[in-house]
Amino acid sequence: MQAILALEDGRIFRGHGYGHPGDCQGEVVFNTSLTGYQEISTDPSYAGQIVVLTNPQIGNYGTNHADNEAGKPYIEGLIVREFSPISSNWRSEQVADEYMERYKVPVLAEIDTRALVRHLRDHGVMRGVISTKEPDAQTLVERARSIRKMDGTDLAKVVSTPSIYHFDAADPRSQWGDPLLSTVLDQDAKERKLNVVAYDFGIKQNILRMLAREGCRVTVVPAETTAEDVLALKPDGVFLSNGPGDPEPVDYAVKAIRGLMGRVPVFGICLGHQLCGLALGGRTYKLKFGHHGGNHPVRNNATGKVEITAHNHNFAVDPDSINVNEVELTHVDLNDQTLEGLRHKTLPLFSVQYHPEAAPGPHDSHYLFRDFRKMMEEWKG
């Protein structure tokens, strides 16, 4: 099955199609993670995007139900160098090709992904179309140019849960050899002492697992839930999740955060961090090609230690827009000096741009969930 990638600037890549036979479109970004293609595919933060993986061999350990970060893939399409037709892993339940076909995700393989990534690095992320049906490249280029831009697009309410639910601690991943996580997840919910309300802007399952690991009962609420409705649930803390799209149109969440500040501890990551920045009077801007991968060095300004972290974001908070008399800038990316974390100096609120829950990625930043628990315990008294 032949397939074509057409970018809005006219660049064309031709290769072989796998997964779902058909077309897809979206913003083309690259991810530098070595493993975790299933977690990446099911991360709701990738809604509206086609993902290029820089690791050349993808699909060789198959897929399984436990590694899903959401109920289905959210990527529009996948681009890889080599896509394995078989899987070789004792945990595998389905080969990656069948998995992508099942969820109607087109896959483009056998192209020079190095050339594509360098093109995106040089020129920035851009809109693109993958097709196995349309042979005319120029037609696809015109289609790519007509795609709505990510700038100004609110996707958080699109991927969010439509109704409130309680996280079910009986999670299949607990069987894969983490005794501490297994013990905590097997606890009865009544034994957990901290009540956390988590905003779902595109929340990943491993975030919920990490909160449960810290002894939290987690209630997940839709993106547009008001501060008053959250406070009515009597939370010990509020978590602001990751999510896709531009943070600036998500004004309803900014309003909610302002209504929660000082009334309950708040912890945000990724989009949640950007929304905290906006709630504190800051500005956000779009990065040239974003941060996507599990190998980004971030310095903790308080300790001087460097954490290797997992990232997935296209926007960032402008540090010059933050009032440093009220807010401490806690973390910085050592690749490009972007702001990666902030903490209010007097209110119980902190956030980070990266993903401390990883999945996939390193575990250097798991301590942030412990910090959130300690903040809630101190606030609760």
Query: What is the number of residues in the chain?
Result: 381
What type of residue is 301? N
Radius of gyration of the chain (CA): 20
Is 296 one of the catalytic residues? no
Q: Which of 119, 291, 313, 355 is catalytic?
A: 355
What type of residue is 18? Y
Strands 216-222 and 194-200: parallel
Write the CB contacts of 130 (distance below 8 Å, at least 6 apart in sequence). 3, 4, 5, 17, 23, 24, 25, 50, 77, 79, 106, 108
Is 328 one of the catalytic residues? no
Query: What is the phi/psi pair of residue 318, to 5°?
Result: -75, 115
What phi-psi label fits residue 24: left (phi over 0), alpha (psi between -120 and 50 degrees) or beta? Answer: beta
C-beta separation of 376 from 265 below 8 A: yes
Q: Which of 248, 270, 273, 292 is catalytic?
A: 270
Is 366 one of the catalytic residues? no
Cα gap 137→89, rounded to integer Å? 38
Least Cα distance to 116 among 130, 131, 132 occurs for: 130
DSSP for 19-54, written as a single string: ESSSEEEEEEEEE--SS-HHHHHT-GGGTTEEEEE-
| Residues noted as catalytic | 270, 355, 357
